[in-house]
Amino acid sequence: MGNCRSYNKRGEPCQGRIVDMHGLCPAHSGAVDMRAIGRKGGKVTQYGRLAAFVGADDELRAKARERLIELLDSSDPKIAVEAALIVLGADESEAA
- Asked if 15 is part of the footprint of Zn ion (rule: CB under 5 A), the reply reads no
Residue count of the chain, please give it. Answer: 96
Please identify, using beta-carbon distances, which residue of 10 and 78 lies nearer to Zn ion.
10
Residue 92 to residue 86: CA distance in whole angstroms: 10
- Asked if 48 is part of the footprint of Zn ion (rule: CB under 5 A), the reply reads no
Would the CA dihedral through 14, 20, 22, 27 be positive or negative? negative
The number of angstroms, rounded, from the C-alpha of 67 to the middle of its chain's C-alpha atoms is 11
Contact region for Zn ion (CB under 5 A) — 4-12, 64-72, 73-81, 82-90? 4-12
Residue 23 to residue 88: CA distance in whole angstroms: 27
Closest separation in Å from C-beta 62 to Zn ion: 17
Q: Which of 18, 25, 60, 64 binds Zn ion (CB under 5 A)?
A: 25
- Asked if 67 is part of the footprint of Zn ion (rule: CB under 5 A), the reply reads no
Which residues form the interface with Zn ion (CB under 5 A)?
4, 6, 14, 16, 25, 28
